């Protein structure tokens, strides 16, 4: 049996920036906030963390800082994906050396890959390290989809232990769950589909909304896993308006704006991302007020 990296809610944590780099003091405060509010794992340097705009040195510093700050209290999962396989291997080896508990590896973007190319890409990364690998399938961003049959083949690699499924295609997730072994973990990559994916055998979520509602996201997953379906359903449905608002513009534009409204010093976004529009801010404030985050 493969070791499960986590069950529950892993936050795809934002990266707070200064004009000169990462605001490590604020990142540390965010990490403590998540541990205090029952977040089950930290994903550092993912899409929400704006990893695509971080030079390798900064990327590696953020991973190392997070590992050291967390200090074994919950798992740290490092985003180390790239559309260049040797580059992904390099970042993944660093993450392992820094003490990360696992890596999250996104499908190659822009150049994309065939299904055979995906198998070779992810196998090369997994073979280069000994820590667990979680695949990340988000075709809306990468233009590249991991088909269920491909995921099944990859699940046979000893340290490829799961997948973050953000295709939005529940039929595809159902097929994936039906053909993969029980020890291949499926995580929702869409906050509005946490319960549907749990109902198909998923064991958690890698979440954007957990940046602002960590306890509620954790509770939703665990209530479902413990059989309290009605309460879990209520938590999911109550969150839908907030989920919509957090994706009214390109992630992480709205979630960084939301954290600023809650008093966090997130700093600015890095180009090509820009500040939230007036229309987006109005939608976000309304949703946060209705959810009880703002008065």
Residues identified as active-site: 136, 164
User: CA 254 → CA 91, 102, 110, 261, distances in Å?
Assistant: 28, 27, 24, 10
CA of residue 115 relative to chain centroid, distance: 23
Distance CA 204, CA 225 (A): 9
What is the residue-wise DSSP string for 144-159? ----HHHHHHHHTSTT
Pairing of strands 133-137, 8-12: unpaired
How long is the chain? 295
Q: Name the DSSP letter for residue 103.
A: E
């Amino acid at each position: 049996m493969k070791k499960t990296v986590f069950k529950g809610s892993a936050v795809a944590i934002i990266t707070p920036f200064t004009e000169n780099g990462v605001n490590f003091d604020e990142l540390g405060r965010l990490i403590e906030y998540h541990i205090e509010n029952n977040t089950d794992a930290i994903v550092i340097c993912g899409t929400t963390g704006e990893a695509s705009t971080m030079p390798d040195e900064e990327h590696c510093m953020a991973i190392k800082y997070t590992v050291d700050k967390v200090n074994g209290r919950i798992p740290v999962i490092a985003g180390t994906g790239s559309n260049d396989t040797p580059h992904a291997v390099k970042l993944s080896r660093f993450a392992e050396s820094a003490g990360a508990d696992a890596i999250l590896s996104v499908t190659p973007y822009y150049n994309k890959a065939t299904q055979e190319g995906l198998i070779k890409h992810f196998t090369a990364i997994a073979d280069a390290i000994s820590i667990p690998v979680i695949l990340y399938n988000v075709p809306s961003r990468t233009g590249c989809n991991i088909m269920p049959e491909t995921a099944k083949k990859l699940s046979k690699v000893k340290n490829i232990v799961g997948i973050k499924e953000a295709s939005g295609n529940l039929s595809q997730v159902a097929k994936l769950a039906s053909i993969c072994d029980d020890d291949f973990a499926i995580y929702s990559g869409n906050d509005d589909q946490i319960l549907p994916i749990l109902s198909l055998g998923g064991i958690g979520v890698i979440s954007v909304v957990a940046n602002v509602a960590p306890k509620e996201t954790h509770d939703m997953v665990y209530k479902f896993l413990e059989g309290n379906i009605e309460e879990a359903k209520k938590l999911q449905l109550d969150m839908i308006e907030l989920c919509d608002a957090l994706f009214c513009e390109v992630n992480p534009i709205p979630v960084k704006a939301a954290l600023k409204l809650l008093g966090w010093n997130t700093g600015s976004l890095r180009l090509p991302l820009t500040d939230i529009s007036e229309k987006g801010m109005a939608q976000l404030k309304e949703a946060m007020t209705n959810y009880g985050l703002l008065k």
